[in-house]
């Protein structure tokens, strides 16, 4: 499904804000110019966002992962790596992963933070990033499975624990 081909009711992921469903495709006048927008109802954060249809692909609007890609995301939760030992370098690593919005890289980063959490307490900032990663990836799984956000989060956390038990 190409970004330009979304229709009302389609699940979508917009990396800058989160995932949701296209509630409407509407024309709006902004600064004297009429454009067509996808109006997206977010599932984790309250509210809606508008994404210009003509810039949707450029802005990263995409369908949620499906099939093998969804399975790859769950598998990536078992691919934790050692994070930098210094807090500033670790923050750069986590920030880079969040800004790039690659779901597989986000899953690896979450796994890395989870592994770190099991051996020592996370800093306040790292805990916030951990919760943000859980939220982002739960949205992805919920939208991919047509399921509920809490069920998706439970699946995500159980997979993290399962992989942690194996290591």
pLDDT of 81-110, one tens digit each? 888 888 899 999 998 888 888 999 999 999
pLDDT over 60 at 70, yes or no:
yes
- Return mean pLDDT, the chain: 91
In a domain, 106, yes or no: yes
User: In the chain, helix, strand, coil percent, each to 5?
Assistant: 50, 20, 30
CA gap 91, 38 in Å, rounded: 33
Q: Model-level pTM greater than 0.85?
A: yes
- Are 95 and 118 in the same domain? yes
Q: Specify the pairing of strand 18-30 against strand 48-52.
A: unpaired
- Are 162 and 122 in the same domain? yes
In a domain, 62, yes or no: no
How sure is the predictor about 4, in pLDDT bands with cuts at 50, 70 and 90?
A: low
What value does the mean pLDDT take over residues 36-48?
94
| Strand locations in 15-127 (E) | 18-30, 33-42, 48-52
CA gap 147, 143 in Å, rounded: 7
- Are 48 and 107 in the same domain? no
DSSP state of 60: T
Percent of the chain with pLDDT over 90: 74
In a domain, 99, yes or no: yes
Q: How many domains does the chain have?
A: 2
Domain that holds residue 121: 67-166
- Are 131 and 78 in the same domain? yes
CATH code for position 88: 1.20.58.1290
Retrieve residue 154's tokens. 């439970």
3-class SS of residue 26: strand
pLDDT at 18: 87
- Are 22 and 97 in the same domain? no
- Are 78 and 156 in the same domain? yes
pLDDT over 50 at 2, yes or no:
no
122 sits in the region (left: phi over 0; alpha: psi -120 to 50; else beta) called beta
């Amino acid at each position: 499904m190409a970004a330009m081909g979304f229709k009302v009711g389609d699940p979508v992921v917009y990396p800058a804000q989160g995932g949701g469903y296209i509630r409407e495709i509407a024309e709006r006048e902004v600064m004297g110019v009429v454009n067509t927008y996808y109006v997206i109802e977010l599932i984790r954060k309250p509210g809606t966002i508008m994404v210009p249809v003509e810039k949707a692909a450029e802005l990263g609007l995409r369908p949620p992962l499906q099939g093998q890609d969804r399975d790859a995301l769950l598998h990536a939760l078992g691919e934790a790596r050692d994070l930098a030992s210094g807090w500033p370098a670790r923050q750069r690593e986590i920030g880079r992963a969040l800004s790039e919005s690659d779901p597989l890289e986000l899953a690896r980063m979450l796994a890395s933070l989870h592994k770190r959490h099991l051996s020592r307490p996370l800093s306040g900032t790292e805990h916030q990033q951990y919760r943000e990663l859980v939220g982002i990836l739960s949205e992805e799984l919920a939208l991919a499975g047509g399921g509920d956000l809490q069920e998706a989060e439970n699946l995500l956390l159980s997979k993290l624990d399962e992989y942690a038990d194996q290591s």
